[in-house]
Chain A
């Protein structure tokens, strides 16, 4: 019997994408007899991609404008990457407006008064995001037989809505709580060391360096508290260390997972099957 251990990137594609990535994720998952989504994936999903979607929803409530929402995302970027150029924002706006061009006719305005097309576009995007957000977070209770690998320190709570604003809190464990994964890690120091050493061949980036430092800290200072920042940095290491022995990790993040998984002899797969 084949069993899949679903990592956050596949979960994100499956639940949030509509560009074909979701179908590729589904095709991959369907190849397995059993699919398991650990709560750690849900935790990362809520803290990362879902939180970004909630931000966009709330920004649409505030600005009532899709172009201002796109622009706000661009302004917040600390990386040199451009998510949207002004031209791209304008072309998206034009394309969306043309979808609703029937609303700008004089006959509609005769009945309903002036049509604020920007507000309509913002509203339809907002409810689309609200649907995706509420459905995807709600799915954790039932998708592939529900949550596995429960984290006793993580408060699993529903999203709330207050005055039209979605509240996505908490996204982390209580800061005073010791990480429930710690005991397993301390009991498997050899595996931990193998993973740490494998990071030498992982992509040379801040994420890798941070992950290595957290693992080092757990090894050298086992009694120190693992903070929420540490948990975020630990990230992908969870999946290779906690993947059950007869399962395969499903991920699109091959670059980060492969060195660690190869070192521990954990199988993994990605949509399209290219894991080189």
Chain B
């Protein structure tokens, strides 16, 4: 979970938006609300003063999107660190990053009110990171997750079909991601309509 404040990984490394750091997400400042810009400035300051994510979130009673934006920034940076560690074959550091990611990613589900696309991608990212329990050969999976993180950051209200495609891309890399209880529900629904039909 982002926000305990004790670990360095919780400290936000503020990306330079004008440097192309969000290339794959096509982020522009035009897509960010005024509130988000204010949060950005806070985050930038926090990066210098080592404030934790939770410190910033609690200090800014801003919109859900602004807070989501902060969380995605943190997750994105951890993913980039993790990929870097994997590519350097520093598996212990990479696994530490994965643990942080597993803890942080579930928080995306606290932003379900933003859009169904955020809910779907938050779920898939959380499921994927849970399944990704070994840093060996995880780079491609993380890149697919990163693409979704960047897409949410760029357009949290993206078309649901776009979110479905991104979710499918994650599954294509990680393998099937199934909700516990889906089989029971789908079987019951299919049986029900068969049994009850005229």
A162: chain B residues within 8 A (beta carbon): none
Contact A131 B164 (CB under 8 A): yes
Contact A81 B191 (CB under 8 A): yes
Contact B179 A73 (CB under 8 A): no
**B 92-110 binary contact with A (CB < 8 Å = 1; else 0):** 0000000000110011011
Interface size class on chain B is 35 or more
Partner of A111 from the list B54, B123, B164, B182 (CB cut-off 8 Å) is B54
Tell whether B176 is near chain A: CB-to-CB under 8 Å: yes
Tell whether B57 is near chain A: CB-to-CB under 8 Å: yes
Contact B180 A83 (CB under 8 A): no
Partner of B116 from the list A103, A127, A210 (CB cut-off 8 Å) is A127
Partner of A120 from the list B112, B180, B184, B193 (CB cut-off 8 Å) is B112
Contact A103 B109 (CB under 8 A): yes
A127: chain B residues within 8 A (beta carbon): 116, 119-120, 123
**Inter-chain contact count A-B, CB under 8 Å?**
132
Contact B106 A17 (CB under 8 A): no
Which residue from chain A places its CB closest to the CB of B53 in the assembled complex? A111
Contact B109 A124 (CB under 8 A): yes
Contact B110 A128 (CB under 8 A): no
Interface SS of A by simple majority: helix
Q: How far is the CB of B187 from chain A (nearest CB, A)?
A: 7
Interface SS of B by simple majority: helix
Contact A78 B198 (CB under 8 A): no
Partner of A73 from the list B1, B107, B180, B188 (CB cut-off 8 Å) is B188
Interface size class on chain A is 35 or more
A115: chain B residues within 8 A (beta carbon): 110
**Cα-based distance from A95 to B179 in the complex (angstroms):** 10
Partner of B120 from the list A96, A103, A131, A229 (CB cut-off 8 Å) is A131
Q: How far is the CB of B72 from chain A (nearest CB, A)?
A: 15
Contact B192 A134 (CB under 8 A): no
- Which positions in B face A, CB cutoff 8 Å? 1, 3-4, 54, 57-58, 102-103, 106-107, 109-110, 112, 116, 119-120, 123, 160-161, 164, 167, 176, 178-198
16 A-B pairs with CB atoms under 8 Å apart are A12-B190, A18-B176, A49-B193, A76-B192, A77-B195, A102-B1, A108-B106, A111-B3, A111-B54, A112-B107, A125-B181, A127-B120, A128-B120, A130-B116, A131-B160, A131-B164
